[in-house]
A and B are shown apart, each in its own frame.
Chain A
Amino acid sequence: MRRIETSIESVKTDIGHFYRADQHHFSVMNAVDLGEKIEVQWFFCDYAQPYETIAFCAQITPDVEIPSIRDIVSSAWVAEAELVDLADIKIEGTPKGFVLETDSEIGPLRKKK
């Protein structure tokens, strides 16, 4: 797994420069609760050699809204909707309620304070 460190301001530009639909496969998004911050990860794999797994990683504070990458990777809406519900983070244009009911526990994957 190759990590590419990025920031919330430049992640969309970085992924836009990197991603080619005929070369890269978007796997999933992930969020890791680091305490004060959350690390958001976007995973891609190659269709051909070297078959590397590439992770764009950006650390955010929970109140920040993340830009959506749907206009670059059209299938990313499912991964974004999942993270909004399970990690209780804000993603541009993504409402809650796709994975969990709106009255469910908020952000079950976040650590309890």
Chain B
Amino acid sequence: MAKQYEIPVGAQHISLLEPLHFKFTTENEKIVGTTANLFYVHRGIEKACCSKFKFRQVSFVVGRVCGLCSISHATAYSQVAEKLIKIEIPRRAKYLRMLVIELDRIHSHLLCLSHVAENSGFEALFMRTMQYREPFMELLEAVCGNRIQYDFSIVGGVARDLKSAVSRMILERLKRFKPQLDELVDIYQNNWSLSLKNKGAGAITKEDAMRLNVVGPFARAAGLEIDVRNETEDLLPWKETGFKIVTETAGDAYARNLLRLREINVSMHIIENIINGLPESALITETKAFPDGEAVARLEAPRGELFYYAKGNKTQILERLKIKAPTFSNIPAMVEGFRENEYGSVPAIIASYDPCLSCTAR
């Protein structure tokens, strides 16, 4: 048996964007074991939401759980709160929520792709991908008023309407982005040395994805058809917008790259359909009801299934709020996905997992 070495990576490391710590056991260059510590930033947000804030304020608090998928948290919470106070939100508000969720998904996927490129040693592709992401940050600012932490979804509806000038701006930028997306697909798919680094890296099978209850692009890249947009027609009418689930089969970093690029294409299609068919209605349903009973809401965030459980007690303060972020579900598969890989592939694999520890530790 080759001599084994333990190599710590993180909590602060040049290839990590988030405070996570892995300890790899290696034989020569091959990883034979991994342990993980992912909870350096626990902020007690669930506790705060059930003690310090009134239920209508909580959508603003959970919007701070994560900078990247702020809209997903605020929307999932708003949905669960709306179930507790038993209201239906206006149709236009539903479509505007979906619009911002998809814009957010595009910028989040591009950020992930750029980091995979960077961690694979492709600085130029990192810069190019970030350059193409920037217009989407500007669009989010134009729609919501903020580049991140949008405060757009609120209990009962949305906080802002979509101006016609902003609608035109979105369509124009999507048109400009289409050839840029084709260019990215060509590079991520066909660049020989990038493929060499990403093919087979951090691979999991569909059976492993099922066994380990993996969610989001991580699961879909392994061929597992799981996407909350496919399931929750009662809350947001995804299928009316042309949503189609995307899967790959290889389950490695390369397949995750391609899957995210294909999902960006689907998101663009959804956004165009929403803008072209945006219904007229109020933006918010007013009510003075207090939350009562218990409910769950699930939403497909850029990294996968976001799960909210809330319990009300007919007062302004919730009895319990539970948040389960997508990365939380993916921890077991993240740990197993390193096995039998070369230690040199670790940075690219971590980036391809697209972990969000801010959400996970909350």
Contact = CB atoms under 8 A, between A and B. Distances in A.
A30 B311 CA distance: 12
Interface stretch (A6-14, A58-66, A69-77, A88-96): A69-77
Nearest to B83: A1
Contact of B332 (A30, A55, A78): A78
B312 to A, nearest CB: 12
Nearest to B230: A51
Interface residues of B, number: 35
A47 B226 contact: yes
The secondary-structure label for the interface of chain B is mixed
Given A28-B322, A30-B322, A78 B328 contact: yes
Interface in A28-76: 28, 30, 32-33, 41, 43, 45, 47, 51, 53, 55, 73-75
A108 interface: yes
B197 interface: no
Interface in B298-326: 298, 305, 307, 309, 311, 319-320, 322, 324
Contact of A75 (B47, B307, B332): B332
B2 to A, nearest CB: 28
Given A1-B294, A32-B319, A99 B42 contact: yes
Interface string B326-347: 0011011100000000000000
Could you say which of A25, A32, A74 has the most chain B C-beta atoms within 10 Å of its C-beta?
A25
Interface residues of A, number: 30
Contact of A32 (B295, B311, B331, B361): B311
A51 B295 contact: no
A78 B331 contact: yes
Contacts of A98: 37, 39
Nearest to A112: B51
B296 A51 contact: no
B213 A73 contact: yes
A99 B328 contact: no
Contact of A27 (B47, B212, B294, B324): B324
B314 to A, nearest CB: 16
A74 B225 contact: no
B44 interface: yes
A106 interface: no
Interface of B: 37, 39, 42, 44, 46-47, 210-213, 215, 224-226, 230-232, 294-296, 298, 305, 307, 309, 311, 319-320, 322, 324, 328-329, 331-333, 361
5 contacts: A1-B295, A27-B298, A28-B324, A51-B232, A75-B329
Interface of A: 1, 21-22, 25-28, 30, 32-33, 41, 43, 45, 47, 51, 53, 55, 73-75, 77-79, 82, 86, 98-100, 108-109
The 6 closest A-B pairs by CB, nearest first: A51-B231, A28-B324, A75-B332, A99-B39, A30-B322, A75-B212
